[in-house]
A and B are shown apart, each in its own frame.
Chain A
Amino acid sequence: AQKVTQAQTEISVVEKEDVTLDCVYETRDTTYYLFWYKQPPSGELVFLIRRNSFDEQNEISGRYSWNFQKSTSSFNFTITASQVVDSAVYFCALSEENFGNEKLTFGTGTRLTIIP
Chain B
Amino acid sequence: NAGVTQTPKFRVLKTGQSMTLLCAQDMNHEYMYWYRQDPGMGLRLIHYSVGEGTTAKGEVPDGYNVSRLKKQNFLLGLESAAPSQTSVYFCASSYLRAEAYEQYFGPGTRLTVT
Contacts and interface: CB of A to CB of B under 8 A. Distances in A.
B47 to A, nearest CB: 10
Interface of B: 31, 33, 40-45, 48, 50, 56, 58-59, 88, 90, 92, 97-108
B42 A50 contact: no
Given A35-B102, A47-B103, A102-B56, 14 more contacts: A9-B40, A33-B99, A37-B105, A44-B107, A45-B43, A45-B105, A50-B102, A95-B98, A102-B45, A102-B48, A102-B50, A102-B97, A103-B59, A104-B98
B103 A44 contact: no
Interface of A: 4, 9, 32-33, 35, 37, 42-47, 50, 91, 95-97, 102-104, 106-109
A116 B42 CA distance: 27
Contacts, number: 58
16 contacts: A33-B99, A42-B107, A44-B108, A45-B43, A45-B92, A47-B102, A47-B103, A95-B98, A97-B100, A102-B33, A102-B50, A102-B58, A102-B97, A103-B45, A103-B98, A104-B98
Nearest to B9: A43
B104 A43 contact: no
Nearest to B44: A106
